[in-house]
Structure 1
Amino acid sequence: MKLSLAFSLWLVAVLGQQFPECTRDVAATDDCADVIDANACYNQFRFQNNQTLSCINGKDNNERALKACKCCSCVGKVMCDWVTKQRFQC
């Protein structure tokens, strides 16, 4: 019973992470521009390591992670999957 409950809570946490839709207004923000403009850098690291976060302009990793959470859908599913895998607090 405890294992089933723990698995259910984990599944809700993983599947429950929703990212904002990339609308024209969202994509036009400076935060999202920092995320979108880094496409060449993402391609270099192929979302394989923690250096992907360094591709995003920001004063520190917390700011970069928040931008990635907010704007990953403007880059694509691979970016949102990477954000989820990194377990950022979005």
Structure 2
Amino acid sequence: MLVLVVYDIPDNKRRLKLSNFLKGHGRRVQDSVFECFLTLDEMRQLHQKIAKRVKSDEDDVRFYWISKDAVSRVLTIGSSPPQEPPNAYII
């Protein structure tokens, strides 16, 4: 499933740490928005790991689950639509 991770973190250090962490889990599509193709278990693990990295009384992180049907109807301007990463890379 596609999960949009959207965040608003006022502290520069915490925001940078979260951004760098999310780069390993998905594709940045805007400054504070990542598209992550994850299983339900992966999404739960990601949620737990992010919860440990932020301050819930100051930071706002949201997870939006997007169905395959909705992903197929995404319209974009200036960027490619969401695409699942390949299962294998040939090197």
TM-score normalised to the size of structure 2?
0.27
Report which structure shows greater RCO (CA 8 Å, sep ≥6): 2
Richer in helix (by share): 1
In terms of Rg, which structure is larger?
A: 1
Richer in strand (by share): 2
